[in-house]
Amino acid sequence: MAKAKSKITHSPFVEPEETDLLERPRNTTTKRIFVAATRQNDGKTTTCLGLFAALRQFSDRVGFIKPVGQRFIEVEGQKVDEDSVLLESIFHVGLPLMAMSPVAIDGTFTRRYLKDPDDSLKVIVDKMSRAFDRTAYEKDYVIIEGSGHAGVGAVFDMSNAQVAKLMGAKAIIVAQGGIGRPVDEVAINKALFDKYGVEVIGAILNKVMPDKIDLVREYAGAGLARLGVPLLGVLPLQKRLAAPNLSQIVDEIGGRWLNGREQAANERILRVVIGAMTAKGVIDYLQPGVLIITPGDRDDIIFSAIASAGLSGKKVVSGIVLTRNILPHPKLMEMLARTNIPTVICSEESYTVASRINNMTVKTQPQDHDKIPIINNLVMDNVDMKKIIEAFKPGVPS
């Protein structure tokens, strides 16, 4: 990385004389926890949400910032990272969203940066510094969410490791469960944090099959210990966290609602069943959490669902997707409208629809109220918060 020089005198991140832009902040007692992941969709945001809730058990003065956001929404004309919006909506941090999300990476950001990297870097550091100052003011802890693995952002001289150094943070690395692969990936990420003088205080292994937890804790823990990285926790796989709601599925498949939209837009889909069996066979699958995918001309399957509901409002299935843009018989449509069965129609084949649903990447959203208690308990029950707190005690290397 080219070492740019600057005199940004209004921020405590930079001394009032010529100095490295990555100079650590001085004279503050705020504990900074930088959360990185070894790859995309390892559970970094879930970990940040759970850590935020857990830290509030120790102090009500907890802040949050995601310095570099790659998935953003427009808020009052400004690009704001969606994870910052999510955390604010759940925990009501009380900070301006602009302070929690200072830099948003749009489609042309990198090209603009590379045309004038020296001046662009000064602007980025200044924005991050001002935002962090505001986020950390009178806070005991600040969670800093990274944007992926340690090297993400290196193209514009602000990799996660560099951002962690800028903010004077200690890092936690989140990786998917296993034994060999997570240890290998943590080793690679730790090497970059080490290069920038950022201490890695531990690793959290996520999405571990419940029957493998003891095995992973023992052997992955031993492998991480050889790297000098404590194992802070092993999080069991929670299928509900990866389950899409019906609204997300409708968006994914380009469907349109036929029935039950109001009461079922946030219905959680735990299992997808293709209606290729007989009407008698489908009865066993009619239960909450199940989504039936079937062509609209399979009147027998649709009638089975209607009959099971008994026209009484009883919830028998979480949704039906009718494929190939085929509508059922008009009489069936009338009967369906008298039930609360959520029904959607789309143009694609059943197996194509099922494949698209199974391959969806599901992010936690502000309206996912059912997920938040699961996330909070997941971290509080399975992460050694005492180790994290002790990593910031006086006398512990920084």
Range 373-384 average pLDDT: 95
- Asked which of 43-47, 111-115, 393-397 is least confident by mean pLDDT, the reply is 393-397
Task: Give Cα separations from 345 to 5, 30, 38, 243, 294 (angstroms).
Answer: 59, 53, 38, 20, 10
pLDDT for the residue numbered 28 = 58
Are the C-beta atoms of residues 353 and 321 closer than 8 Å to each other?
yes
Better-scored residue on pLDDT, 287 or 263: 287
Range 87-101 average pLDDT: 90
Q: Is the pLDDT of residue 17 over 60?
A: no
pLDDT for the residue numbered 243 = 92
Q: Is the pLDDT of residue 7 over 80?
A: no
pLDDT for the residue numbered 27 = 39
- Specify the DSSP element, H or E, that contains 319: strand 319-323
Residue (of 92, 103, 90, 173) closest to 132 by Cα position: 103
Q: Is the pLDDT of residue 256 over 80?
A: yes
How many CB atoms neighbour CB 373 within 10 A?
10
Helix (H, G, I), strand (E, B) or coil at 308: helix
- Asked which of 34-43, 64-73, 99-108, 269-278 is least confident by mean pLDDT, the reply is 269-278
Q: Is the pLDDT of residue 276 over 90?
A: no
pLDDT for the residue numbered 52 = 96
First to last CA, the chain: 23
Placement of tokens 């850590």 in the chain:
51
Q: Is the pLDDT of residue 384 over 60?
A: yes
| 79 band by pLDDT with thresholds 50, 70 and 90 | confident
Q: Is the pLDDT of residue 47 over 90?
A: yes
Helix (H, G, I), strand (E, B) or coil at 251: helix
Better-scored residue on pLDDT, 372 or 5: 372
The strand pair at 103-104 and 68-69 is best described as parallel
Range 75-91 average pLDDT: 87
The strand pair at 319-323 and 343-345 is best described as parallel
Range 140-167 average pLDDT: 92
Compute the residue count for the chain.
398
Q: Is the pLDDT of residue 10 over 50?
A: no
Classify residue 212 by its DSSP letter: G
Percent of the chain exceeding pLDDT 70 equals 89
What does the alpha-carbon distance between residue 21 and residue 59 come to, in Å, rounded to a whole number? 31
Here the contacts of 53-56 (C-beta below 8 Å, separation 24 or greater) are: 53/91, 53/375, 53/376, 53/379, 53/380, 54/376, 54/379, 54/380, 54/383, 54/385, 55/141, 55/143, 55/385, 56/91
Q: Which domains does the chain have, with CATH numbers?
A: 5-241+368-390 (3.40.50.300), 246-355 (3.40.1390.20)
Better-scored residue on pLDDT, 289 or 230: 230
Q: Is the pLDDT of residue 19 over 50?
A: no
Percent of the chain exceeding pLDDT 90 equals 59
How many CB atoms neighbour CB 274 within 10 A?
15
Q: pTM (2 decimals)?
A: 0.84
Q: What is the pLDDT of residues 173-201, one digit of tens each?
A: 999 989 999 999 999 999 999 999 999 99
Q: Is the pLDDT of residue 6 over 50?
A: no
Range 333-345 average pLDDT: 90
Residue (of 264, 334, 267, 269) closest to 299 by Cα position: 334
- Asked which of 84-93, 146-155, 261-270 is least confident by mean pLDDT, the reply is 261-270
What mean pLDDT, rounded, does the chain reach?
87
Better-scored residue on pLDDT, 4 or 89: 89
How many CB atoms neighbour CB 26 within 10 A?
10
Q: Is the pLDDT of residue 63 over 50?
A: yes
For residue 69, the cross-strand partners are 104
- Asked which of 20-24, 224-228, 349-353, 366-370 is least confident by mean pLDDT, the reply is 20-24
Placement of tokens 């649709």 in the chain:
302
Range 290-307 average pLDDT: 89
180 token code pair: 């060999």
Range 293-301 average pLDDT: 90
